[in-house]
Amino acid sequence: MISYKEALALIANEANFQSSRRVDRNEALGLIAAADVVAQLDVPSFDNSAMDGFALHAIKTVDTNRQTPNRFKVSHCLAAGDVLDSADQTLAVEIMTGAKMPSGFDAVIPIEKVNTITNENGETVEIEINAPLQIGDNVRYAGEDFKSGQIIATKGTRLHAGHIAAMAATGIHEVTVFNMPEIEIFTTGKEVSDAYHVPLKDGEIYNSNTPYLLCQFKASGIPAMYMGSIGDDEQAFVDTLNVSTDARIVISSGAVSMGKWDFIPDLLKKNGARIIFHGVGIKPGKPILFAVLKDGRYYFGLPGNPVSTAVGLRFFIQPLIRMLLGMPPEPFHYAELRHDFQKKGDLRNFLKARLDSDDHGQTHLTILDGQQSFKISPLLDMNCWAIINERQNELCKDDSVCIAPMELFPMAF
Ligand SMILES: Nc1nc2c(c(=O)[nH]1)N[C@H]1C(S)=C(S)[C@@H](COP(=O)(O)OP(=O)(O)OC[C@H]3O[C@@H](n4cnc5c(N)ncnc54)[C@H](O)[C@@H]3O)O[C@H]1N2
Ligand code: MOO
């Protein structure tokens, strides 16, 4: 049986980029840049004031101190958006935050640091200062935030609100993004019922796997469609495979293990699919199957137990989607265990876990009770997966453990 790492390498070997399209910048939230996004402007694009106050020529203030304050007549008043191309540099210019620095002026003193002398109309006509200014005081220089030509987001970046703001500021109104892969999902098993408003017959269960898959895709902005249940019907499986759709990835739940009605591997082969792997050294989800159908669609046969399905989605399908979208491998994070933990066997374990903060703000990881792959109830408490490698068996309190968020694509990760 292959290892998880080998399985990921086999998936990578089959992954080709998605097609791309241009979208309005404001529609790009959560989408993946299909090319580097490059600033079109210096930002700020002009030197401007960081404070409401008075622009001065710093050199004219060098001899100023508490004993010998200096007075400057005020020549103009600039709101943000006003431009003053020439002014007498021996005077002061009243200036608001964001207004372009008048040419030749190189420092701003905030209004609360000056004594103002007003005329009978209440207008400031003169200011008195009692300390010298340095060149650049309270000035925001052109290009200090972004330089024209600077990369805002590299290809494969998931665009979050920060990227949208940066694109807007640098004059980008459209961006090239990858088309999300369309997903098609069905379940197997004649025991599995979608008739939630009808009481279960003896031996039946309600379908919980495909609702889980569908809502995880929905939360990630990935279009996914439910094709229904095929029961244990082999012809229905073949018919479902042959429905022509725009899907890039087909996912089934169940029928990939050793049982009499676990017909998926054989029928895939008979229908011209290439089985890339079937069975990976992981727990839960060991019987997972990955194939490429004869028309090029990717096929994941997820084991039917609910947590095996969840693991297949999170740790096999999500990496394929990242690869199709040019995203770098997911950066995993680590947390300290709250307790000792013993793993049996030599499989990589994906465990239902919870990250909590204590009273000192320290985070700790708890591996939850109820790790059996049929148990859905611990999903109510879990907020992350704990990943324990093949060779890690004895873990002690405070050991560092790899964790992954439950969501497929948490923003900014
Ligand atoms: N003799 C062996 N038996 C099993 C093995 C094995 O190696 N040898 N592996 C076990 C493991 S591990 C898993 S996981 C399961 C996977 O089996 P299948 O993928 O063939 O899945 P099914 O048998 O069809 O179903 C398993 C389980 O999941 C329930 N199920 C299926 N679909 C849904 C759904 N949509 N919603 C909720 N629950 C679903 C199904 O009723 C079964 O209880 O095989 C073990 N057996
Ligand atoms: O590995 Mo199965 O996926 O535990 O129940």
- pLDDT, tens digit (0-9, with 9 covering 90-100), for 17-68: 999 999 999 999 999 999 999 999 999 999 999 999 999 999 999 999 999 9
User: Could you tell me the distance, in angstroms and rounded to a whole number, from the CA of residue 205 to the centre of ligand 1?
Assistant: 13
Average pLDDT, the chain: 96
Over residues 286-311, mean pLDDT: 97
Torsion angle defined by CA atoms of residues 185, 189, 191 and 195, in that order, rounded to the nearest 10 degrees: 20
Determine the 3-state secondary structure of 347 from DSSP: coil
Q: pTM for the full model?
A: 0.92
What is the DSSP track for 228-241? EE-TT-HHHHHHHH
pLDDT at 315: 98
Neighbouring C-beta atoms of residue 341, cutoff 10 Å: 22
pLDDT band at 356 (very low <50, low <70, confident <90, very high): very high
Q: How confident is the model at residue 412 (pLDDT cuts 50, 70, 90)?
A: low
Please give the pLDDT value at position 332.
84
The per-residue pLDDT for 380 is 98
Q: Which tokens is 31 given? A: 């989408």
Mean predicted confidence (pLDDT) in 236-249: 92
Could you tell me what percent of the chain has a pLDDT over 90? 94
Q: What whole-number percentage of the chain has pLDDT above 70?
A: 99
Question: Which 3 state secondary structure label does DSSP give 164?
Answer: helix
Mean pLDDT of 145-157: 97
Ligand nearest to the CA of 311: 2
Q: Which atom of ligand 2 is nearest to the CA of 311?
A: 3
Q: From residue 155, how far is each of 31, 32, 151, 174, 180 by CA, in Å?
A: 11, 8, 10, 15, 14
Segment 208-237 shows an average pLDDT of 96
Q: Is 413 a residue whose pLDDT tops 60?
A: no
- In this prediction, residue 244 carries a pLDDT of 80
User: What is the atom index within ligand 1 of the atom nearest the CA of 210?
Assistant: 35
pLDDT band at 253 (very low <50, low <70, confident <90, very high): very high
Calculate how far, in angstroms, residue 374's C-alpha sits from the geometric centre of ligand 2.
8
Say if strands 289-292 and 298-302 run parallel, antiparallel, or are unpaired. Answer: antiparallel
Q: pLDDT tens across 79-99, in order?
A: 999 999 988 999 999 999 999
Question: How far is residue 193's CA from residue 207's CA, in Å, rounded to a whole number?
Answer: 6
What's the number of CA atoms in the CB half-sphere (13 Å) around residue 203?
A: 3
Q: Cα–Cα distances in Å, from 209 out to 46, 212, 216, 313?
A: 56, 5, 11, 11
Radius of gyration of the CA atoms of the chain, in A: 31
- Average pLDDT of span 185-207: 97
Domains and CATH numbers, the chain: 4-18+180-324 (3.40.980.10), 20-44+144-178 (3.90.105.10), 48-140 (2.170.190.11), 333-405 (2.40.340.10)
Q: How far is CA 269 from CA 49, 274, 290, 301, in A?
A: 69, 7, 12, 13
What is the distance between the alpha carbons of residues 274 and 292, in angstroms, rounded to a whole number?
Answer: 5
**How far does residue 351's CA lie from ligand 2's centre (Å)?**
12
Report the pLDDT value the prediction gives residue 259, as an integer from 0 to 100.
82
Query: Does the Cβ of 305 fall within 6 Å of ligand 2?
Result: yes
pLDDT the model gives residue 410 = 81
- Judge if the beta carbon of residue 303 lies within 6 A of ligand 2: yes
CA 106 / ligand 1 centre spacing (Å) = 73
Nearest CA owner, ligand 2 atom 3: 285
Q: Which residue has a Cα nearest atom 5 of ligand 2?
A: 373
- On the question of pLDDT at 387 being above 80, the answer is yes
Kindly give the distance from the C-alpha atom of residue 306 to the centroid of ligand 2, in angstroms, as a whole number: 9
